[in-house]
Amino acid sequence: MLGLLICLVAFAQSPRAGAEIYTVDDGYCLGRLFDGIGAISGGGATSKLLVNYPDTQRREILDYLFKPNFGSSLQILKVEIGGDGQSTDGTESSHMHSPEDENYRRGYEWWLMVEAKKRNPAIKIYALSWAFPGWLNKEGQRNPYTYANVTAGYVIKWIQGAHTHYGISVDYVGIWNEKVYDRNYVITLRRELDRAGLHHVLVVAPDAPLINDWKICPDILKDPELAKAVNIVGCHYPGTLTTTAAIETGKPLWASEDYSTFNDLSGGGCWARILNQNYVNGNITATIAWNLIASYYDTLPYTREGLMTAETPWSGHYVVESPIWMTAHTTQFTEIGWSYLRHRYGSGHLAGGGSYVSLTSPDRNQLTIVLETMSHDHSQCIRPPLPEYNVTKQDVFMQLKGNFANISSLQVWRSALKFGDASSEFFQNHGEIKVVDGRVKLQLNVDELVTLTTVTTGNKGSHPDPPPDTEFPLPYKEDFENYVEDMEPYNFAQQTGVFEVHSDGNHGNMMRQMVLQIPIYWCSAEKLNLAITMIGSETWSDIAIIVDARLPSNTSAAEGYFLAARVNQGGCWVYQSRGVFIFVDPVREMFAVYGSIDKTVFLAEGSTGTMTSHGWNTLSLSLKSTWANGSVNGRMLFNVTVPEETSNGFVGLGTTSWGYADFDNIYIDNPGSHL
């Protein structure tokens, strides 16, 4: 087996003159502690469609993500603390919509953490807020730090809720995703965690993007109180680099969000390169991918930027992408708490391009060496720009010393990315290589990832092929009767606001929009002060929708509701959506039709006729080719020409302001032939 495309041979003779010899030696003290490799669910709603996969396929997907010695064998799971605000691909529900509210059934991150722990009890849990509910905001501001103790209490309740309701112990907590940190809040959060007996929960700060670099580090060096509060310095997309000040803090340095790259072969190359070079170049000891799994509608922002893909739960289809196996090269042969070997004594750059890292167990009985030769053009991540460099085919001579001098053999695992007609190879076991006098020779080709290890438990897990992919099925019907209270309905991708299942006496279950005021938002999606959820396919063009809608009879009701088709934008850019939107005010018995969600493209308006102001009304909207018509309670209201740019998109519904509104008996199908 060792005679395949890679040459791995032991050598007793000396390497040729001028050949590079790489020493692997623990005798010069060890490097930094290894803190793990992980991935993010959230930031936001990136695992949305995973929840309602068929049981068999869902278990299989979770195995590939979390099961030790099977797939990626992740060591850290980072999740969003839902804040009722859009956080990239959707909104995640807060556990506290209001100060009086406290609910730990909402959302799916609880379920995901339980499933991860079920497969790997040792996995570390990291929590971070992207948005915060509006009640934490001081009027006229967008700032969760104003009442630092209140916001800290809100976060701590989430941490406590995870333990009380699900038995999940949270290990790390962040500040506010990719926003400027606040010194007082960081110190307050650490103090309140300690007061709550949560001494074990470590604070990661600032979770800032590359533009802010490691700028908290000079502050830590000159501020002992801040230094005491921050346990770990986390930077997003560091480009494998840190700073002198970051090193001088003496704190663990993490790429607390990284990767975010389309998960094709080049995405796998990006991930393989930074997993090694984050340590080699920057002394970064944990790398966490955004995102865990691309389980959101394909045309939402940052499509397929997960370690694997599962975006059609109705079909059960999923794809185990290359980053899963790139991860396994490290995670299946290390544990959190191992140590990197020092630069030049087990970690560094390869002379022909690429890098290598070595890690050892606390007792120094186990050794894992990971080498990568990813080329520039086949390993570019989405950010930051990657400077040019060259990689060539090369011979690598390794000399094991210190506690490793007596190792007699190493297991060999290899991945080779092929960008022509040849097939790539992912995480294949090439058997055992003998080590003679501590010496090993490898011949590495370009775009390869190789692990040499004393660990013998590595395994490339597999499940039967999943079912084939299919389009969203029509007709689609939903009456919400098969859900429990507070659940987020399947397949509905909330973009602003929060839509949950609730029950109302004799009526039964329905879907209710729950956000009553603008959240402390993360991006600009909420700027229109309305709530929208979407469903279906971005490819839908000719489509018909019927829905029952109601404004509750209380002071917290929204001003109105709307139904839409061909909605062509989501995520942080949902406020720019084009489509056909019928906005209805049941109190004033008026309607208006627009070709845009921001109401800048006017199409029609008028009276709806008699409506029940705070009771149920039936809305319908039908589009075919360049025509659209709609009705309320069976009364045809309009028949208009659709703008040319409004050609296809999702079905949407929502509220015209913040406030409660109910939706039920949703029916979507191809339009009738009368259009």
Catalytic residue numbers?
Answer: 178, 257
Helix (H, G, I), strand (E, B) or coil at 210: helix
Cα distances from 33 to residues 232, 234, 336, 341, 560, in angstroms, run: 12, 15, 8, 9, 56
CA dihedral of 59, 493, 176, 82, whole degrees rounded to 10: -70
Nearest CA among 549, 474, 554, 477 for reference residue 511: 549
In the numeric block, the tokens 């186990």 are attached to 366
Residues 571-574: contacts with CB under 8 Å, at least 24 apart: 571/86, 571/88, 571/89, 571/90, 571/300, 571/301, 571/302, 571/495, 571/525, 572/86, 572/88, 572/301, 572/522, 572/523, 572/524, 572/525, 573/301, 573/525, 574/86, 574/495, 574/496, 574/525, 574/532
Strands (E), 361-418: 367-372, 394-400, 409-416
For residue 234, the Cα-to-chain-centroid distance in whole angstroms is: 16
CA dihedral of 13, 15, 21, 25, whole degrees rounded to 10: 0
Tell me how far apart the alpha carbons of residues 73 and 26 are, in angstroms, rounded to a whole number: 26
Helix, strand, coil shares of the chain, percent, nearest 5, are 20, 35, 50
Tell me how far apart the alpha carbons of residues 36 and 261 are, in angstroms, rounded to a whole number: 20
